[in-house]
Structure 1
Amino acid sequence: MKKRGLMRWISLQLVVLILVMMAAGGVSQAAEQGVTPSGIHVSDLETEIETYIEEYKDTTAAVSVAVFQNGETIHEGYYGNGNMEMELKNSTETVMEWGSVTKMLVWVSVMQLVELGEMNLSEDIRTYLPEGFLSNLKYDQPITMMNLMHHNAGWEEQLIDLFIPIGEEVGELGDVLKSSLPNQLYEPGTVVAYSNWGVSLAGYIVERVSGMGFSDYVHKHIFEPLGMEHTALLPTLEDNSWVNEQRDLLKCYSADLRDLGPSRYQLALYPAGMATGTLEDFLLFGKALVPKGRDRSELFRKRETLDQFLSPTLFYHDEKNTPRNAHGLWVDKTEVLALGHGGNTPGASANLQFDPISGIGLVVMTNQSGETVYNIGLQEMIFGKYPEPTDEFQMRNISGVYTQARTIKTGALRLYSFLLTMPFLSGNENNFYVPMMGMELIPVGFDRFLLDYGETVGTGFVSENKNGSPTLEIGVQDYLPKNPIVYAIEIFLILILGLALIYSLYTIIRALVRKLRKKPSEPKNGERILASGGNLGLFFSFLYVVMNVINYETSRNIRLGLILCTIFSAWILIYLVRSIIAFKEWGKHLSSRKIFNTILSCIAMLLNSFYWQWFKFW
């Protein structure tokens, strides 16, 4: 055995030994005393939860909640309505979407294949993929399954064809992945950037290794052993007809109870977030991750595989090496290290969290998109809150401009990266704030801080990148420093875009008013109107692209908008070339100033089109 392999094997055995000793010696002190990690007595938990839900009932559609410990249900409750207009009560037959909690099914599947010796977490994933499948890698460094689990393979964000309307055809998983292959922005292992595509790729590798479709594999090796008879996984939900019918009865709402209608979509990359089912099934899956005592989990042949699965594998770069991820499960540090995953879809939210030591776990399902009162609030109720900030710590200066690592840097949606860029400013009380998000960063250590969003709180850490600049490590992604000059240029481009649109609109309206008043046309007026029309056409074509992305329309609609962007960009360019050729004639016309302004507006539009790559429809 090589030295590195020997050290890794010894480290794994130590982690497993620690977990075994903790479990063998009983659960945590909190569990021995019959209390949750947050300090609530188990016998009082049902009252606490129902009191909490009663407090927020006016902004609640439906919420299903269960708390368990070591395989036993402590509390299970169904509140509100699955359809508020029809007063369809939330019940054991109500099905809701898991969202990204579905990703846990991928990682369980991977660990099952690792246990059988059919997959190696440290192997280059190209070993398991068809020749040339990853055709546009930027870095030579191998990508491993651990990189996919940690979301640090370096993939660019994908927004097109993420959710597909019901009735549209969804191809096979391998074909969908190949057709939506993202660019590789970062060297593997260096930057955490949450990736639906990367998780779905792991699901496809499960298909390749097992010889089964991913949905078939999960049904046979997870759902059936656990008795999960009311959960579907395919984009159409056709793998469980009962779930498919029940999903049609559900209506969805925003966090503030705005009616979203059915909000039913197909997820082409379905291993990343398509699971839909009842709370009872969701609870069965959660219990299997923390089985009673030292009994074998139904998910794995050996208990050691479960212990390995739950052992941390990615750490924050703080002084204490705080765990960040455990084989694809995200680690949240409050009173305890809680493992799990949250999920959001266009119409639902869900959460599964558990403490492997005390064995206490929580599952939450709601029919409200972006919901935090229960998905975050109940998590804090069970597992405890983040540490209170003090004046003791002076965090290093992190003021500057940052952008989310989970971003788009190439193609026609590059403007998305600008929207994710934000200045972090130094405050007056040893803190930092982000004015664009209404977020405050409060130090609780030299390299740790709280993120106060007003209604919710998170945690993050400060590390250094290769250049010595600070990187903010926040949960499922990093925030990277951005050159302030580049940010200033982008702001300038947006400003001149606005001015160009205003002037183009003014030109057309003024010409229309003059025509209605039967005033004579100004020299070169027709050309200026055509140029201004091209400017507006370019902008509204891109707006059409954005609206199609927001409304989850298919890529062919988006491509049509981008082709129109290209046509209008060429239209504007032709006008500019003609105007430059006729430069010497400007002074002969009284309207030369207007021509000059029109040219400037066209230049502004073209600069934006080329910088943000609105022309890129391929």
Structure 2
Amino acid sequence: MRNLTVMALILYCALFIPGVVLANENLTPSGIPLKDLESYVDEYVEEFIGETTAGANVVVVKDNQIVLSKGYGYADIKSKIPMDPGTSILEWGSVSKLFVWVSVMQLVEQGKIDLNEDIRHYLPDGFLTKLTYDEPITMLHLMNHSAGFEDRIFDLGYASKEKVESLEEGLKKAEPNQIYPPGEVVAYSNFSTSLAAYIVERITEKEFDEYVSENILEIINMNHSLIHLPKEENEEIIQHVTKGYELIGIGEFRESTPFYMSMYPSGGMNGTTDDLAKFAMALMPQGNKKSILFDELDTLEQMLSTSYSANDNVPGIAHGFWEVDGKKKGFAHSGNTAAFSSNFHIVPEENFAVIVLTNQAGEADITFGLTKALIGESVFHPVANAPDSFDVEGTYISARRTDSGFLHLYYYLTPLKVKSLNENEIQISVMGMKGNYIQEEPYTYRFVNGDSVFLPMQTLYFQVDEGVVNQISTTYSDFLPMDKKGEMLAAHGILFLYCIVFFLVTALILLVRCSLHWRKKKAFSIMMRWNAALHLSGMALVVNVMVLMGRMLVNSNRAYSEIIIHFTLNYLFTFTCLLSMFFVIWNWRKETLTKWRVIVYSLSMLSSMLLITLLIYWQFYF
């Protein structure tokens, strides 16, 4: 009788008292009723679609059912083709990485991969040629993005699929230097993920796209998705490929170049939003059921357990998934390509998922903003007797950076600056964009407001040793104290600007003088000829460097072979500079020079040496 009474009371509460027993089944984790979900999302995205976002597909999953699947804006603006979660094919960007980690865990379950084994055990002898440290790199290091590799832009993506090579050849061509000891720094790495996929190829003796198609896509009926677009001939899917756009002004969009990858496991998947919803459901089996992707329930639980965290109060990494501290613990991954942005977020405890795909480069307002609104935030508890935020002030550089080659200059020009607003609040800024954070735990700060670019960086943890910040841990990558002073960078900038002005102005003056001499039929002395050669060589160096930087700004998705001509020209013009200087010095005593010419020739040589020194320092020769 007691049990019957209890059961009757529970049933009564569930049926007649809203919000008591089954309320969470009808709400998003943030508390939005599912019956109001569509209108809420409609109102939320209205501010951005057609203004700052070309188009978006939003799919929400609850209890293994799609409760919202809706497209907004256009898949093709010119032709007015609307977005459709069921048919529009979009680039998923780095959400593709999750299929690598699922593949790896399938092989872990089969005993074919040991997460703590040196990965060289699975690779051909001598495959990695740029390792700096003796400590072994493990699969866990690859999953946690802590193998120590620098970021490399060249040969990551191409505008033409004709340049795409096999995964093995793509890895060899794009191998980065190892700049950190394994396990010490989180530096997000496309190479690491693609290297893990190559290990899957080696073990299974199948190309990675074939393995994923057979062991993931087909199993969960993801029939409208492709792991490697250039290899496919599925016209039914190809005809629904969405156009990607770049924002050039409010309400103004420019169609972007295509994006093809040799290291496709890191970001080459294309598919529908509804298909990603199937993937989300496969990762959230209800009750004690095992996932269709694994033979054992423990494998999924292991995959969604913390594999790295900088601090107990900070969300970490769960075997390649990003942990998210919402109202309930979530697991996510976002993605960006040249013209697409995405966010994939699951909350297993609530059997809830949000998938947002957009055909807009660098989009964050919907991909992250809407997701945050539906997921909710954990309760905020400001810490008492917190360390003064002044302790963390400073300038920091991303650990995910190019360290070799001229592109490393970009990271020094776009540092992360931390400013104390009061004893418990800081403001961070990058390239003029700002975000405010409040201290929640000692040296742990939570984002409260600011530009949408900071939405992915919800939590900052400052690793402080004896009052000095050694590292900042964020969701995607660590930041390290700036190793070059701002005054030095400013001085270099001023000196380079001087070189630009000097050689361009003197080149114009030289042209005028040549014209005057030609009209008067007056010949240049040998000294003047070599000095002219010096000026022209310096001008050629300046112009070549400016063209190189301009090409990279217009389109960074380039093969290294496309820009090697600039390095070759830098060597050539540097040689002619040095040769000209030699002959200017050689002929110095053979001519009687006025003080003005002594000044001019000396300034020409000093300016040339200054320019060459700057180009060597900032690695513009390779």
When normalised by structure 1's length, the TM-score is 0.88
Q: d(CA) in 1 for partners of 2:583 and 2:344? A: 62
What secondary structure, in the 3-state scheme, does the structure 2 residue paired with 1:76 have?
Answer: strand
1:558-589 Cα shifts (integer Å, max 9, x gaps): 11111111212222222333444556679723
573 and 432 in structure 1: CA distance in 2 versus 1, 3 angstrom threshold: farther
Q: d(CA) in 1 for partners of 2:22 and 2:122? A: 44
What secondary structure, in the 3-state scheme, does the structure 1 residue paired with 2:305 have?
Answer: coil
Aligned to 1:162: 156
Aligned to 1:566: 571
Shift of 1:120: 0.8
- Aligned pairs for 1:272-311 within 5 A: 272-311=266-305
What secondary structure, in the 3-state scheme, does the structure 1 residue paired with 2:356 have?
Answer: strand
What secondary structure, in the 3-state scheme, does the structure 2 residue paired with 1:364 have?
Answer: strand
177 and 37 in structure 1: CA distance in 2 versus 1, 3 angstrom threshold: same
- Aligned pairs for 1:77-156 within 5 A: 77-91=70-84, 92-156=86-150
425 and 598 in structure 1: CA distance in 2 versus 1, 3 angstrom threshold: farther
* 2:610 equivalent to 1:610: no
Q: d(CA) in 2 for partners of 1:402 and 1:580? A: 44
Q: d(CA) in 2 for partners of 1:111 and 1:545? A: 43
Aligned to 2:397: 403
- Aligned pairs for 1:395-544 within 5 A: 395=389, 397-427=391-421, 430-434=425-429, 436-445=431-440, 446-451=442-447, 452-455=449-452, 456-457=454-455, 458-464=458-464, 469-485=469-485, 487-516=486-515, 524-544=527-547
543 and 137 in structure 1: CA distance in 2 versus 1, 3 angstrom threshold: same
50, 56, 61: which one aligns with 1:63 = 56
Shift of 1:227: 0.4
- How many pairs does the alignment contain? 585
502 and 227 in structure 1: CA distance in 2 versus 1, 3 angstrom threshold: same
Task: Please tell me whether the aligned partners of residues 405 and 479 of structure 1 are also in contact (alpha carbons under 8 angstroms).
Answer: yes
Task: Please tell me whether the aligned partners of residues 159 and 257 of structure 2 are also in contact (alpha carbons under 8 angstroms).
Answer: no
174 and 167 in structure 1: CA distance in 2 versus 1, 3 angstrom threshold: closer
Q: d(CA) in 2 for partners of 1:124 and 1:521? A: 70
* 2:219 equivalent to 1:216: no
Counterpart amino acid of 1:96?
L
590, 597, 601: which one aligns with 1:591 = 597
Q: d(CA) in 2 for partners of 1:31 and 1:291? A: 20
43 and 395 in structure 1: CA distance in 2 versus 1, 3 angstrom threshold: same
What secondary structure, in the 3-state scheme, does the structure 1 residue paired with 2:185 have?
Answer: coil
326 and 148 in structure 1: CA distance in 2 versus 1, 3 angstrom threshold: same
Q: d(CA) in 2 for partners of 1:568 and 1:149? A: 44
1:442-470 Cα shifts (integer Å, max 9, x gaps): 23232112455423533211114799543
What secondary structure, in the 3-state scheme, does the structure 2 residue paired with 1:591 have?
Answer: helix
What secondary structure, in the 3-state scheme, does the structure 2 residue paired with 1:138 have?
Answer: coil
565 and 385 in structure 1: CA distance in 2 versus 1, 3 angstrom threshold: farther
Q: d(CA) in 2 for partners of 1:87 and 1:440? A: 36
Shift of 1:40: 1.4
Q: d(CA) in 2 for partners of 1:385 and 1:305? A: 28
Q: d(CA) in 2 for partners of 1:557 and 1:537? A: 19
Aligned to 1:10: none
Shift of 1:164: 1.2
Shift of 1:484: 4.5
What secondary structure, in the 3-state scheme, does the structure 1 residue paired with 2:59 have?
Answer: strand
Task: Please tell me whether the aligned partners of residues 54 and 253 of structure 2 are also in contact (alpha carbons under 8 angstroms).
Answer: no
- Aligned pairs for 1:326-345 within 5 A: 326-345=318-337
Counterpart amino acid of 2:189?
S
Q: Which runs of no fewer than 5 residues in structure 1 stay unpaired?
A: 1-27
Higher alpha-carbon deviation: 265-274 or 560-569:
560-569
Task: Please tell me whether the aligned partners of residues 244 and 361 of structure 2 are also in contact (alpha carbons under 8 angstroms).
Answer: no
38 and 580 in structure 1: CA distance in 2 versus 1, 3 angstrom threshold: farther
1:483-507 Cα shifts (integer Å, max 9, x gaps): 344x533332222111011011110
User: Please, what is the CA RMSD of the aligned residues?
Assistant: 2.7
What secondary structure, in the 3-state scheme, does the structure 1 residue paired with 2:571 have?
Answer: helix
Q: d(CA) in 1 for partners of 2:523 and 2:185? A: 59
Aligned to 1:6: none
Q: d(CA) in 1 for partners of 2:591 and 2:21? A: 85
Identity among equivalent positions (%) equals 29
When normalised by structure 2's length, the TM-score is 0.88
1:21-79 Cα shifts (integer Å, max 9, x gaps): xxxxxxx9896363222121222212211111223333242211011123111211112
Counterpart amino acid of 1:498?
L
1:273-330 Cα shifts (integer Å, max 9, x gaps): 011011221111111111233322111111211111111111123xx34331100001
Task: Please tell me whether the aligned partners of residues 145 and 187 of structure 2 are also in contact (alpha carbons under 8 angstroms).
Answer: yes
What secondary structure, in the 3-state scheme, does the structure 2 residue paired with 1:365 have?
Answer: strand
What secondary structure, in the 3-state scheme, does the structure 1 residue paired with 2:240 have?
Answer: helix
Shift of 1:427: 4.0
Counterpart amino acid of 1:221?
N
Counterpart amino acid of 2:224?
H
Task: Please tell me whether the aligned partners of residues 397 and 479 of structure 2 are also in contact (alpha carbons under 8 angstroms).
Answer: yes
1:530-583 Cα shifts (integer Å, max 9, x gaps): 223222322332334334444223222211111111212222222333444556
Q: d(CA) in 2 for partners of 1:216 and 1:541? A: 44
Aligned to 2:39: 47
Counterpart amino acid of 2:533?
L
Aligned to 1:23: none
1:206-229 Cα shifts (integer Å, max 9, x gaps): 101111100000000000000011
Counterpart amino acid of 1:540?
V
156 and 300 in structure 1: CA distance in 2 versus 1, 3 angstrom threshold: same
Q: d(CA) in 1 for partners of 2:487 and 2:92? A: 40
Task: Please tell me whether the aligned partners of residues 407 and 420 of structure 1 are also in contact (alpha carbons under 8 angstroms).
Answer: no
Task: Please tell me whether the aligned partners of residues 389 and 422 of structure 2 are also in contact (alpha carbons under 8 angstroms).
Answer: no
Task: Please tell me whether the aligned partners of residues 586 and 592 of structure 1 are also in contact (alpha carbons under 8 angstroms).
Answer: no
Q: d(CA) in 2 for partners of 1:267 and 1:553? A: 11
- Aligned pairs for 1:139-288 within 5 A: 139-238=133-232, 240-247=234-241, 250-254=243-247, 256-261=250-255, 263-288=257-282
Shift of 1:84: 1.2
What secondary structure, in the 3-state scheme, does the structure 2 residue paired with 1:81 have?
Answer: strand
Q: Which has the larger radius of gyration?
A: 2
Q: d(CA) in 2 for partners of 1:291 and 1:310? A: 13
Task: Please tell me whether the aligned partners of residues 162 and 269 of structure 1 are also in contact (alpha carbons under 8 angstroms).
Answer: yes
